[in-house]
């Protein structure tokens, strides 16, 4: 259905809650992209740009059947999310997909491209102690850009449903900030978020694959 990188941008001053819904309710469905080739290999991705695996493409096509009608499809500019959204867009006949770099994955810094075993060798005890490398994007930096984008999308679609194809680290950060804790999410797993009266509320998590061909990477 094509793509467009120019229609939506984030507000410059937001971190946390969405505003400007007017009289409607904006529902966001945040969805993790299909399996990438680095997911398959167990490599941390961050903002590196490996493509979808064959299974990831199949997952995206399967997931489209569980989504139904939405008013807008938005995707991270990273290939694995962009291609997932493109497949869903084609299956649903809804487009163009709007691509935004503000919803790309958290920057994993020096860990990008490494497996957990390689991280344990190069950074002993970091994972076990919850420590991160110097180039790691902070929670505050991530929230600034992601919640600012939700703000702008809420103003654009003030009474409708927005599908956002993004990344595991982004979804988990949003959930954690809104009180949902920090839990791994599968490829093509999703989370509904309702925006009403200037406030975001967590809705249910979804398995868009209905239990078939589910993959749960343990890295972002």
Above 90 in pLDDT, residue 208?
yes
Please state, in angstroms and rounded to a whole number, the distance separating the CA atoms of residues 31 and 187.
Answer: 8
Above 80 in pLDDT, residue 14?
no
Query: Confidence band (pLDDT; 50, 70, 90) for 216?
Result: very high
Peptide bond into 96 cis (omega under 30): yes
Our answer to whether residue 33 is catalytic in this structure is yes
Per-residue model confidence (pLDDT) at position 2: 65
Most confidently predicted of 6-10, 121-125, 195-199: 121-125
Our answer to whether residue 110 is catalytic in this structure is no
Please state, in angstroms and rounded to a whole number, the distance separating the CA atoms of residues 57 and 78.
Answer: 15
Per-residue model confidence (pLDDT) at position 125: 97
Query: Confidence band (pLDDT; 50, 70, 90) for 112?
Result: very high
Q: Cα separations (Å) of 190 from 2, 57, 89, 152?
A: 23, 16, 16, 21
Select which of 105, 137, 167, 175 is catalytic.
Answer: 105
Please state, in angstroms and rounded to a whole number, the distance separating the CA atoms of residues 165 and 117.
Answer: 29
Per residue in 147-201, pLDDT tens? Answer: 999 988 988 898 899 999 999 999 999 999 999 999 999 999 999 999 887 789 9
Structural domains in the chain plus CATH codes: 3-107+138-207 (3.40.50.1240)
Query: Confidence band (pLDDT; 50, 70, 90) for 20?
Result: very low
Per residue in 27-76, pLDDT tens? Answer: 999 999 999 999 999 999 999 999 999 999 999 999 999 999 999 999 99
pTM: 0.90
Q: Cα separations (Å) of 78 from 18, 193, 196, 206?
A: 24, 22, 29, 23
């Amino acid at each position: 259905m094509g793509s467009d990188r120019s229609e939506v941008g984030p507000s410059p001053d937001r971190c946390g809650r969405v505003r400007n819904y007017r009289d409607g309710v904006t529902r966001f469905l945040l969805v993790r992209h299909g399996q990438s080739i680095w997911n398959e290999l167990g490599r941390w991705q961050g903002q590196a740009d490996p493509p979808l695996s064959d299974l990831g493409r199949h997952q995206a096509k399967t997931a489209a059947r569980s989504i139904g009608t939405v008013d807008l499809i938005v995707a991270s500019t990273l290939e694995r999310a962009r291609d997932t959204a493109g497949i869903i867009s084609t299956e649903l006949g809804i487009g163009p997909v709007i691509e935004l770099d503000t919803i790309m994955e958290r920057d994993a810094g020096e860990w990008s491209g490494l497996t957990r075993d390689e991280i344990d060798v190069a950074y002993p005890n970091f994972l076990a102690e919850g420590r991160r490398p110097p180039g790691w994007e902070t929670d505050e930096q991530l929230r600034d850009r992601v919640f600012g984008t939700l703000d702008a999308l809420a103003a654009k679609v003030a009474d409708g449903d927005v599908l956002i194809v993004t990344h595991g680290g982004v979804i988990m950060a949003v959930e954690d900030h809104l009180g949902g804790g920090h839990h791994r999410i599968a490829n093509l797993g999703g989370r509904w978020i309702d925006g009403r009266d200037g406030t975001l509320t967590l809705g249910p998590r979804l398995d868009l694959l209905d239990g078939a061909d589910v993959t749960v990477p343990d890295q972002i």
